[in-house]
Amino acid sequence: MSKQSVAVRKFDAVIVGAGGSGLRAAIQLSEAGLKTAVLSKVFPTRSHTVAAQGGVSASLGNSEEDHWHWHMYDTVKGSDWLGDQDAIEYMCRKAPEVVVELEHFGMPFDRTDEGKIYQRPFGGHMSNFGEKPVRRACAAADRTGHAMLHALYQRNVRANTQFFVEWMALDLIRDESGQVLGVIALEMETGEVVAFHSKATVFATGGAGRIYYSSTNAFINTGDGLGMAARAGIALEDMEFWQFHPTGVAGAGVLITEGVRGEGGILRNSTNERFMERYAPNAKDLASRDVVSRAMVTEINEGRGCGPNKDFVLLDITHLDPATIMKRLPGIREISIQFAGIDPIKAPIPVVPTCHYQMGGVPTNYKGQVVGDDGAPVRGFYAAGEVACASVHGANRLGTNSLLDLLVFGKASGDTVIDDLRSGEIGLRDLPADFADRTLARLNRLNTQTGGASVNECRLELQRTMQKHCGVFRFKDMLVEGVAKIIEVEKAVAHTEIKDKSQVWNTARVEALELDNLVEVAKATMVSAEARKESRGAHVRDDAPDTPANPNGRDDANWHKHTLWHREGNRLSYKPVIMKPLSVETIALKTRSY
Amino acid sequence: MATSTMQFKIYRYDPDKDNAPYMQDASVEVDFSLDRKLLDVLTRLKAKDDSLSYRRSCREGICGSDAMNINGKNGLACLTEIKDLKQPVVLRPLPGLPVIRDLIVDMTQFFKQYHSIKPYLINEGPRPERERLQSPEEREELNGLYECILCACCSTSCPSFWWNPDKFVGPAGLLNAYRFIADTRDQATNERLDDLEDPYRLFRCHTIMNCVDVCPKGLNPTRAIGKIKEMMVRRAI
């Protein structure tokens, strides 16, 4: 393929990804009349936001008193104090506004008797700075993500947003000054490669949960944005922090929402004990996700797991009124019947902690601008949602804060793009002569490679390595070995071979290109995890145990800082956590317990 | 391990190299302790032959990507139990839409019809500071409607849609049209009914009910279409 064959299309803004954050950003840009392209590997309503279940948080106070400041406190505590307090304040303050806006867009929220948005309890949601549970999760049954994604897509239909559906972005284009000038993308139906040359580029590419063997994530969650950013010299932040959701269906990995416990569900071990009472006497089954997942794995490791292999625990809702289950949790009933063969009205659901969410990502500020190592914005580059690390989730995300993150930072990134375009801060700069070379080289290699490794086998090896070496509990020796193993996988990935050479809808090629991204994420994760010699949030190591000096194994003196992984040289640097909120007082470091 | 060989007949067509579509015989080792759904087995088939092309994403029946025709009936591969399938399992693309490659169809016409019903809330009133109120009973009216995943199983099983895909909105589009008509927050009921009062757009539905039979989410487009017709009659008298 020659350089001349790469067509160039020009836009004010290009958004990569059409899940919640991409669609929310697109609404801002389309309604502002900017020439915007939204690229997506899948039809927008097939994006993974669709699978979110339990709710979106906002201190609306529809059932009892609530306040954004309490929400902020819970989020900082949930993050194990690794979240940036300016971004967290921004998100929690904006929550009621963006959720109400979504209702105005047509979101079919459930309702209270007064006709207001229905809110349910969720893990770590408390009133009055951690005092007692509060109903903060705004829900549409247990299909909140589906209802939200469709409402956002529908609003974009109204706004005439221009979509490029089933286009996969392959690489970021940057010039010598480091400014981002768009992306190169592949049209899946035709195999055509096109440069989207734009003044602003917004990454809304979602997460990379498919680096793990057992994941609640969709097949498409392959960290494409992270891979593209890393290859273009952008460091990735806090990649050691991955959330294992307590309740994935054992064996299948499919998510069962925390909203089940919000509605009164209880976790039980093989002795039928409600074991969370021992681990989190106050919040019990609604403690933070990292806490519950560790408790479950501890129960299993100590022989109190259920089933013939004692390798899962039970999520019990048999004591709930069947009418409540049918009304509030119809989707999880369907999932249990489909994937566990169990009707939860009659019997408890077998569950295990399952990889669910990436807390780290492309470093951004609270305006949605991607920032470099010095904290200064990378001109022309924005990110929102799971791909971004603002950082609002720190070392552990609270349930329902992901859907909130999409809305708040999707909107903020759109608004910032508009500001930067209008102020002349960013404009259309010339493409460098060699802008397509690296991408075309990757494609040409795939077209001509013979005798290489199988994409499927490389991906399985990567996923098994991550699962075994970098799971819920992490061990020093396993992490060291894990780094070496991932480097081996990377070598094989450089020589993957596909048999399918067709230009038309070549899914083998797409999977090979996705694997290029997965391997960057896996490396970033393993290297960052091996280096962080403390336990914090979702990152817990055997050599950083709970001691009086370092409660929960957290070592603030040495490790209260963000990790930055640099692809070049596979090297790490660190930057401080932003402890100063925008308007309120700092929420000071404290030992975390539920 | 409960392993066994499963036999398939799969519709194959790659316009880059095939002059015409053909049915390919394929077989694969299945481990019934790990593989439960058709999508699990398709993944195994694809590991053997990476050129087999189909869409898939969430693998849990919520994204609507992997709709196909399975032993003569439309369904989602990720929700189809393999142990219930008669062999050889015959897999074809969704009927009535142009095939791009293998099990992948061009869904342009399907989405065009969805977009034609103005699938968004229309309420030009001033935006209140808080949420618009809606009683639980009013919200209940949207159940069985808003859950549509746009997989196209229904519309592509409908003979009326096969004949007039450019003129008949089809069951998915009409179900979604009623989703907005039924929403107390929407103010465009009359315009929506006007738009559908047409010999083709709505009235090509002959209540064959294939749509109800195949919907993987258990929704009932025929009932929604009936409600729209009822409203038209009611406003006429």
B58 and chain A: CB distance < 8 Å anywhere? yes
Looking at this protein, which amino acid is placed at residue B45? L
A472 vs A355: CA distance, rounded Å: 9
Contact residues, B window 192-231, toward A, CB-based 8 Å cutoff: none
What is the reported pTM? 0.97
Q: Is the Cβ–Cβ distance between A34 and A418 less than 8 Å?
A: yes
Residue with tokens 């416990």: A261
Half-sphere exposure of A488 (CA within 13 A, CB side): 10
Q: At what angle do helices A455-469 and A507-531 cross, to 10 degrees?
A: 20
SS (H, E, C) A83-103: CCHHHHHHHHHHHHHHHHHHH
Looking at this protein, which amino acid is placed at residue A524? A
> For all residues of chain B together, what is the average pLDDT?
97
In CATH terms, is domain A8-54+91-113+141-242+357-423 a member of 1.10.10.10? no
Write the residue in B65, B104, B127 that is nearest to A505 by C-beta.
B104
Distance from CA of B203 to the nearest CA of A (A): 25
State CA B166 to chain mean position distance. Answer: 17
Write the residue in A48, A498, A505 that is nearest to B53 by C-beta.
A505
Q: Listing from the earlier edge strand, what are the strands of the sheet with B22-31?
A: B22-31, B3-12, B89-92, B67-70, B73-76
pLDDT of residue B33: 86
Residue with tokens 């932040």: A237
pLDDT of residue A252: 92
Q: Please, is B190 exposed, middle or buried when counting C-beta atoms within 10 Å of its C-beta (0-12, 13-18, 19+)?
A: exposed
Neighbours of B195 (CB within 10 A): 16
B92 and chain A: CB distance < 8 Å anywhere? no
Residue with tokens 């490669």: A193
Q: Which residues of A touch B107 (CB under 8 A)?
A: 43
**What Cα–Cα distance (Å) separates residue A29 from each residue in A25, A416, B150?**
6, 10, 26
B3-105 and B108-236 agree in CATH topology: no
Counting runs of H as helices and runs of E as strands, what totals does chain B give? 8, 7
pLDDT of residue A1: 43
Q: Which residues of B touch A455 (CB under 8 A)?
A: 50
The H-or-E segment that residue A276 falls in is helix A276-279
Write the residue in A51, A456, A508 that is nearest to B58 by C-beta.
A51
**A48 labelled ligand-binding:** yes
Q: Domain B3-105, what fold? A: Ubiquitin-like (UB roll) (3.10.20)
Q: Answer whether B121 sits within 8 Å of A106, measured CB to CB.
A: yes
SS (H, E, C) A450-504: CCCEEHHHHHHHHHHHHHHHCCCCECHHHHHHHHHHHHHHHHHHCCEECCCCCCC
pLDDT of residue A265: 97
pLDDT averaged over 10-residue windows placed end to end, chain A, 594 residues: 74 98 98 98 98 97 98 98 98 98 98 98 96 97 98 98 98 97 98 98 98 97 98 98 96 94 96 97 94 96 96 97 95 95 97 97 98 95 98 97 98 98 92 95 96 96 97 97 98 97 98 98 98 98 94 97 98 98 98 93
Reported CATH class of domain A243-356: alpha beta
Domain ranges in chain B are 3-105, 108-236
Q: Is the ipTM of this complex over 0.95?
A: yes
Q: Answer whether B16 sits within 8 Å of A106, measured CB to CB.
A: no
A332 vs B81: CA distance, rounded Å: 18
A275 vs A267: CA distance, rounded Å: 7
Q: Which residues contact A386 (CB under 8 A, 6 or more apart)?
A: A21, A206, A207, A357, A358, A361, A402, A405
Q: Is the Cβ–Cβ distance between A527 and A540 less than 8 Å?
A: no
Looking at this protein, which amino acid is placed at residue A165? V
Query: What would the pLDDT profile of B1-56 be if each residue is shown by its tens digit?
Result: 578 999 999 999 999 999 999 999 999 999 988 899 999 999 999 999 999 999 99
Which residues make up the CATH 3.90.700.10 domain(s) of chain A?
A: 243-356
CATH number of B108-236: 1.10.1060.10
- Residue B76: beta bridge partners? B67
Neighbours of B163 (CB within 10 A): 13
Ranges of chain B whose pLDDT falls below 70: 1
A553 vs A533: CA distance, rounded Å: 9
Long-range contacts of B56-59 (CB under 8 A, 24+ apart): B56/A219, B57/A42, B57/A46, B57/A48, B57/A218, B57/A219, B57/A220, B58/A46, B58/A48, B58/A50, B58/A51, B58/A218, B58/A219, B59/A218, B59/A219, B59/A254
B79 vs A221: CA distance, rounded Å: 20
Write the residue in B51, B127, B183 that is nearest to A499 by C-beta.
B51
**A265 labelled ligand-binding:** no
Query: What would the pLDDT profile of B136-146 be if each residue is shown by its tens digit?
Result: 999 999 999 99
Closest by CA to A393, choosing from A441, A427, A366, A358, is A358
**A150 labelled ligand-binding:** no
SS (H, E, C) A282-349: CCHHHCCHHHHHHHHHHHHHCCCCECCCCCEEEEECCCCCHHHHHHHCHHHHHHHHHHHCCCCCCCCE
**Best B33, B60, B124 residue to mutate vs chain A (most A CBs within 10 Å):** B60
Q: Hey, which residues of A are catalytic here?
A: 289
Half-sphere exposure of A334 (CA within 13 A, CB side): 18
Q: Which residues of B touch A46 (CB under 8 A)?
A: 57-58, 63-65
**Token pair recorded at residue B110:** 């399907």
Q: Is the Cβ–Cβ distance between A53 and A548 less than 8 Å?
A: no
**A20 labelled ligand-binding:** yes
Write the residue in B119, B131, B186 that is nearest to A116 by C-beta.
B131
Distance from CA of B224 to the nearest CA of A (A): 17
| Cα angle B10-B14-B17, degrees, rounded to a multiple of 5 | 125
Q: Is the Cβ–Cβ distance between B13 and B101 less than 8 Å?
A: yes
Q: Which residues of A touch B180 (CB under 8 A)?
A: 106
Q: Which residues of B touch A105 (CB under 8 A)?
A: 120-121
Residue with tokens 């929420």: A587
**A18 labelled ligand-binding:** yes
A284 vs A266: CA distance, rounded Å: 9
Q: Answer whether A42 sits within 8 Å of B149, measured CB to CB.
A: no
pLDDT of residue B1: 56
Q: Answer whether B120 sits within 8 Å of A189, measured CB to CB.
A: no
pLDDT of residue A304: 97
Q: Which residues of A touch B46 (CB under 8 A)?
A: 456, 507
Which residues make up the CATH 3.50.50.60 domain(s) of chain A?
A: 8-54+91-113+141-242+357-423
Q: Is the Cβ–Cβ distance between A248 and A216 less than 8 Å?
A: yes
